[in-house]
Amino acid sequence: MDELNKENAAAKPSAVLEVKHLSIDYPIAIGTVQAVRDVSFTLADGEVLGIVGESGCGKSTMGLAIMNLLRDPGRIVGGEILYHGKDVVKMSQAELRAMRGRDIAMVFQNPLTSLNPLMKIQDHFIETIKYHKPEMKRPEALKLTGDLLEDLGIDRKRMKEYPHQMSGGMRQRIMIALGLIMKPDVIICDEPTTSLDVIVEAGFVDLLNRLRKTFDLSIILITHNLGLVAEIADRIVVMYGGKVMEDSPSSLIFHKPMHPYAIGLIECVPNIDLDQEKLTTMEGAPPDLVTPPVGCRFAARCPKVFNLCRQEEPPLREFRIGPDRGADGSAPSATVRRCACWLFPEEK
């Protein structure tokens, strides 16, 4: 590698995960739900990436596809999911089994339904460890479990208890600990705080921040809660109707959103500082994904809609901003944002 390339490689964080032009369908009796369409994004090493959008926009479908765990009748109809350059879509069953939990782990929406009520907490861990490391003896596995639980602020003695004996917040931590036990380098959390109250939710942000440093994790945080991702994510991908509308660093999404849908979502985040009296809600509903509209998928709800929006779909364009923009317009280390809206037809 020459000196210049070495410098560039050092400056650019390497991608752990690259999703490229991913499309996912659910064929059902009345047609095909086009749940995810041409979605691309990158998760850099050590990055926290938030994926946000209203219910039904394809967030969980995306998360499950990354683990190659789509539920019936879901199927990937196009694109690639590259984990350290290797396509998850093309992995054999054996490769997938080895990857899940060990390389990429997923924490699901509801911890109570994900934990077996008849199994002690410790046995959930033993089962996972046995699956990936059958050679590990039980005392060693129990020690590993106890150490990890303590790292997450849970007394190790409690691993002998059953899920129903734990509070909601603790069950959440246990689910995360289960995800972390094989030391994966990516963890996908799907609506991790839906079942938690606000105080426990605040603790979750601290926990995730601590874990990302301690465990050297890259995290995908899937949520409809933009306030939550704002506190922890480096980048945010905003999805609507199965497509990416905007992908920007989180501070920019909050202070200078580009896409009208991102603007609408931000207006719906309660803002204590502004002493907002009532929470704004966005009028209308997301499009039907069996017969998605022609043109921009957000057109029916967009306050800035104009003729072209209903005729042609805006492409997801890349915009580079930053202090070190070159004279020719190129800026290798500039911040990259992407936005799919005709209001931003080309880079300014």
What residues make contact with ligand SF4 under the rule CB under 6 A? 259-260, 296, 298-299, 302, 304-305, 309, 314, 341-343
Q: Which of 14, 55, 116, 165 binds ligand ATP (CB under 6 A)?
A: 55
Minimum CB separation from ligand SF4 for residue 243, in Å?
11
Sheet holding 86-87, edge to edge: 31-44, 15-28, 75-83, 86-87
8 Å CB contact between 147 and 105: no
Enumerate residues 25-84 that contact Mg ion by CB under 5 A: 60
Q: What gap in Å lies between CA 224 and CA 321, rounded to an integer? A: 27
Minimum CB separation from ligand SF4 for residue 294, in Å?
12
CA 19, 25, 30: angle at the middle one, nearest 5? 165
Minimum CB separation from Mg ion for residue 57, in Å?
9
Q: What gap in Å lies between CA 145 and CA 333, rounded to an integer? A: 41
Minimum CB separation from ligand ATP for residue 97, in Å?
22
Q: Which is nearer to ligand SF4, 125 or 342 (CB)?
A: 342
Residue 58 binding partner per list ligand ATP, Mg ion, ligand SF4, none, with a CB distance cut-off of 5 to 8 Å that depends on partner kind: ligand ATP
Enumerate residues 279-298 that contact ligand ATP by CB under 6 A: 289
The residue assigned the tokens 């190659």 is 68
DSSP secondary structure letter of residue 13: P
Minimum CB separation from ligand SF4 for residue 259, in Å?
6
8 Å CB contact between 247 and 53: no
Minimum CB separation from ligand ATP for residue 289, in Å?
5
Residue 224 binding partner per list ligand SF4, Mg ion, ligand ATP, none, with a CB distance cut-off of 5 to 8 Å that depends on partner kind: ligand ATP
Q: What gap in Å lies between CA 114 and CA 133, rounded to an integer? A: 22
Kindly state the tokens that stand for 229: 């991702």
Q: Which is nearer to ligand ATP, 121 or 253 (CB)?
A: 253
Paired with 100 in beta bridges are 104
Residue 71 binding partner per list Mg ion, ligand ATP, ligand SF4, none, with a CB distance cut-off of 5 to 8 Å that depends on partner kind: ligand ATP
Q: Which is nearer to ligand ATP, 71 or 255 (CB)?
A: 71
Say how many residues touch ligand ATP, by CB under 6 A.
Answer: 16
Distances (CA, A) of 112 to 55, 108, 182, 344: 21, 10, 21, 44
Per DSSP bridges, beta strands 48-52 and 218-223 are parallel
What percent of the residues of the chain are helix, what percent strand, and what percent coil, each to the nearest 5?
35, 25, 40
The residue assigned the tokens 């874990």 is 211
Kindly write out the interface string for residues 23-52 of this chain, putting x where it contacts ligand ATP by CB under 6 A and - elsewhere: ---x-x----x-x-----------------
Residue 111 binding partner per list Mg ion, ligand ATP, ligand SF4, none, with a CB distance cut-off of 5 to 8 Å that depends on partner kind: none
Where on the chain is the footprint of ligand ATP (CB under 6 A)?
26, 28, 33, 35, 53, 55-61, 71, 74, 224, 289
